[in-house]
Structure 1
Amino acid sequence: MSSDEKDVENGFRSPSPSTGAVERWRTYLFQDVDGKQCSFPLISYCFMTGLINSVGFSAIYVWMAFQTGNTVQLSLAVARLFNGSHNYEFQLPDRLALCSLLTFIGGAFIGRIGDKMGSNTRAWLVLGTFIQTVFTMAAAIAIWKSGEPAVADARSDVAWGSALSFVCVGFMSASMGLQGIMGKRVNTQFTTTVVLTTTWCELMAEPSLFKIRKLVKSRDHKAVAIFACFVGGFVGRAILDRVGSAGTLGVGTGLRFLVTLSWIFVPAKKGAAKK
């Protein structure tokens, strides 16, 4: 009996080339990315913040990512209970703001999965961004099926109000919450990619703010994050006026998928542990 036959008889098999390829691919995916070389996907995250917010705010005057505004809006809704007007109605914009806040928190909570996989590994960054893609696609389908208009006439007359519009708001906000915690975990000058108030403050406090002739990463990346969000809002509204809410979110879905793929090509952090 040959040695190979003895190995098979004893339950041992030589590793196939495909097994080695799978192991190398797994090792590659579970390497931590280099935060200094994550600019493209993080700038894209900031762009998506502007685009997604443009859809929600244009229709219902509620932010999908900026939960400070939604939190204060809800506090004002509670304050109306005590102003003597006896108006105890929980108005539609307030219900939409509550939906956005709760689902944003839910999306951020999903981001804790990354703590188990490794929050800076390619595997989680690809998976997490793909989940954002699915959420954005689900939002597009929901608002498409609702048939509601894309732009509100006035703050007192929002464009959305059906059950499907709440589903759309929920998925958009969840995608933003997940994006925010993933951006935070990467820990770069782009911060969470969804909250620009802090970014504006840090930019104004930057000691090298006026060193125009010198590249300063801590300053320049913050400025780029703000600009990308602005451009995202501008582009989002331009697309919205042409193809409506569902079409704009469809474009956002495609962009998110491209960002998903881009994480695969981000170089590993030097000395990253192989898992």
Structure 2
Amino acid sequence: MAASNGTVTYGTMASTEQLSPSGDARGSEDQLPRHVAGAPRPTLPRAVAVRLAGEVDTKACDWISVFACFLTGWTSAISFTACFVWPGFQTGNVAQLAIAIARTFDPPQTRTFKFMKGDQQALTALVSFWLGTSLGRIGARVGPKRRSWLVATALIQIAFAVVAAVLAHYSGEGAYAIGRDHPSWSTPKGMAALGFLSASLGLQGIVGKRIASPMNTTVVLTTTWVEIFNDPSLFYIGYAPSRDKRIAGVLAVLVGAFTARALLGVAGSGGAIGVLCGFRLILAAWWAAIPGPKA
């Protein structure tokens, strides 16, 4: 500081940030966790770990839920074509088991005292679904919206599908049931293939539920149909997100089931499930790419 003619002036030691009109803004920006020049940049594994540790924005999960519905249709077509059992529709499987028990009270000509093969397959699908969806308890501890958990669920579903494809291929059974009384996948290997497919949809269901998907669990569309036909925008001409995204989910199930059924005649059960593995891999990458919640 120097004095001249009674006037006080500041020397070169004064801070340029204090004299700059944008000094406050620049100072606040410096406090942000940005890369410092000359400091080592984060390694790729570290960057991936940080990315996976974050949570996804549930509002950005609508279209990946539609894709999950496509996978539901694909999976359901394979199992229903083989043995007339839905791997994800457990309401029907529970009712089928109840009917099987009630047959013990039928007239003698229709009475049975055991589960028929179709009933055994329905029980296999139901129990496997329970086990698969129970894995959601792990997600409750890790964080149901964390990317690491969501990517892990897709990878687990890939593992289930790979095992199902191998079992279906080496079971020696065809992709098509001869009839209700002669379903395919009636051997232990075939029923195990059905079990792994059901477990994969059980895990998918809890993921959809935890991220508050417009299609609810993305596995059973009964609730989705109810919401579509009670949507205030049902007859609105134009884009209505609450209606159109649910309709997209229904159409995705339709397209997935149609495509898988058409592929069965060319690739068989093992090949169709193998393609499902590829789609599950896309699902895993998609989960990793979904942005985080906005501040």
Same fold at TM > 0.5: yes
Equivalent runs, 1:85-164 vs 2, <5 Å: 85=108, 86-164=111-189
Structure 2 unmatched runs, 5+ = 1-38
- Asked whether 1:216 is paired with 2:240, we answer yes
- Give the whole-Å Cα distance in 2 for the aligned partners of 1:181 and 1:46: 13
- Matched pairs, number: 255
- Asked whether 1:171 is paired with 2:196, we answer yes
Counterpart of 1:242, as a letter, is V
Residue by residue over 1:27-71, the C-alpha shift from the partner in whole angstroms, topping out at 9 and shown as x without a partner, is: 321211112222342222100100110011011000001111111
Deviation of residue 84 (structure 1)? Answer: 3.8
Deviation of residue 19 (structure 1)? Answer: 6.7
Structure 1 unmatched runs, 5+ = 1-15
Alignment counterpart, residue 285 of structure 2, candidates 249, 258, 261:
261
Between 1:61-70 and 1:82-91, the stretch displaced more is 82-91
- Asked whether 1:26 is paired with 2:49, we answer yes
Pairwise CA RMSD? 1.6
Deviation of residue 20 (structure 1)? Answer: 6.3
Q: What's the counterpart of residue 49 of structure 1?
A: 72
Q: What's the counterpart of residue 37 of structure 1?
A: 60
Contact 2:55 2:147 in 1 (8 A): yes
* Pair 17,135 (structure 1): closer, same or farther in 2 beyond 3 Å: farther
Percent of residue pairs identical: 40
- Give the whole-Å Cα distance in 1 for the aligned partners of 2:245 and 2:216: 10
- Give the whole-Å Cα distance in 1 for the aligned partners of 2:126 and 2:271: 24
- Give the whole-Å Cα distance in 2 for the aligned partners of 1:160 and 1:104: 17
Counterpart of 2:96, as a letter, is Q
* Pair 181,72 (structure 1): closer, same or farther in 2 beyond 3 Å: same
Q: Helix, strand or coil: the match of 2:168?
A: helix
Counterpart of 2:73, as a letter, is G
Higher helix share: 1
- Asked whether 1:62 is paired with 2:89, we answer no
Counterpart of 1:222, as a letter, is R
Q: What's the counterpart of residue 73 of structure 1?
A: 96
Ranges of 4+ aligned residues in structure 1 off by more than 4 Å = 16-24
Of structures 1 and 2, the one with the larger relative CO (CA 8 A, separation 6+) is 1
Residue by residue over 1:130-180, the C-alpha shift from the partner in whole angstroms, topping out at 9 and shown as x without a partner, is: 101110111000010111000112112112211101110110000000000
Bigger radius of gyration: 2
Residue by residue over 1:69-107, the C-alpha shift from the partner in whole angstroms, topping out at 9 and shown as x without a partner, is: 111101100110122434202100000000000000100
Deviation of residue 241 (structure 1)? Answer: 1.4
Contact 1:59 1:160 in 2 (8 A): yes
Contact 1:30 1:118 in 2 (8 A): no
